[in-house]
Amino acid sequence: MKNKKVELQKIRKNIDHIDAQLVRLLNERAQNVLKVKAVKTAGKMHFYAPHREMEVYRRIAQMNKGPFPTETLQAIFCEVMSGSLALESPLKIAYFGQEGSNTHIAAIQKFGSSSRYVPGSTLKDVFQEVERGRAHYGVVPIENSTEGVVFHTLDLFVESDLRICSEIFMPISHTLMSKSGDLKKVKRVYSHPQALGQCRVWLEANLPGVKIIESASTSKAAQLAAKDTSAAAIASDLAAKINHLKPIAKRIEDMQDNYTRFLVIGKTNAERTGKDKTSIMVSIKDKVGALYTLLQPFEKQGFNLTSIESRPSRKKAWDYYFFIDFLGHIDEPKTRKAIEEIEKASLTVKVLGSYPRCEL
């Protein structure tokens, strides 16, 4: 037993020595970050660089030999880069929902705990915070693997000049929560329509006849449940903790492989990384074969389209905008050539942004 204690002390002493090296190296890295700040300030350059962020994550994945999972190391470096950005210029991030919403969690996953976060009650609030310069970037949901596209987010791009700077894919898990933690006491359930849709089968099987009430966000639902002893909310575990609610059931989403894609919006353009995605908005001429003509340049240039959605223009009946995502960057010659061809066959073409492609 004594020998084991001596062996344990020796291992811990070695860990302490490694920790000291880590602290020294992190501060050495921070000194270089301050040099980067001086260069960017002199050149009037933007401090947040999505292409550089993605480059760091990909390099970590290539270098990692274990036993740490790559996701763990990337989470650690997220905080390192968040602290580094705070040294350069603290970022202010607007997000949809209240504290504890899935969008809030996605924002923290992207920008780390050293950034400042500002909630937006509506999606439009998030856009306006960034447009008016009260936040550097905004985070908004765009689509869910179960419930599909958040159309209101698409609609806001019609009038906004903001750019898509980056994207986030996050696994979504829903928890039913209440003040009592007792399923039998639940008379109504609050949540955002998307979350309710993702848990529809579970609700029908476990709470038949219970009143379902839509809320502006999952975090708002948690706030409402915290004030109502006969109500429950579907929200995140973080929202339960913030609002002092007890979990009734976890992972109640109908599909376990449940992801939501979020967009980072801002006023900057992301540089090319070689693994990028471009989003455009197109208004086409009202004639036979217009959509076919629109899609031809993509096929001709060999682009992989990842999404195409249509939305009413709200200007006249049967007039639509098409939102298209495809793999590639606007700075690539073949992308510019495809856009030029699309412009000839369209009324308007608006590039919403080219940005590093997030991989699940």
Catalytic option among 96, 127, 262, 298:
262
CA distance 166 to 349: 20
CA distance 218 to 83: 29
The label of the residue with tokens 């980067």 reads 36
- Other CB atoms closer than 10 Å to residue 141's CB: what's the count? 27
CA distance 112 to 92: 11
CA distance 26 to 22: 6
- Distances, alpha carbon 167 to alpha carbons 37, 224, 261, 353, in Å: 25, 30, 7, 11
Q: Is residue 322 among the annotated active site residues? A: no
Both tokens of 6, joined, read 């001596």
Q: Is residue 278 among the annotated active site residues? A: no
Catalytic option among 260, 273, 278, 335:
260
Q: What's the half-sphere exposure (Cβ side, CA atoms, 13 Å) at 336?
A: 3
Both tokens of 259, joined, read 């992801």
- C-beta of residue 261 within 8 angstroms of C-beta of residue 248: no
Q: Dihedral of CA 190/191/193/196: which sign? A: negative
CA distance 341 to 303: 14
Both tokens of 112, joined, read 């780390």
Query: Which amino acids are annotated catalytic?
Result: 260, 262
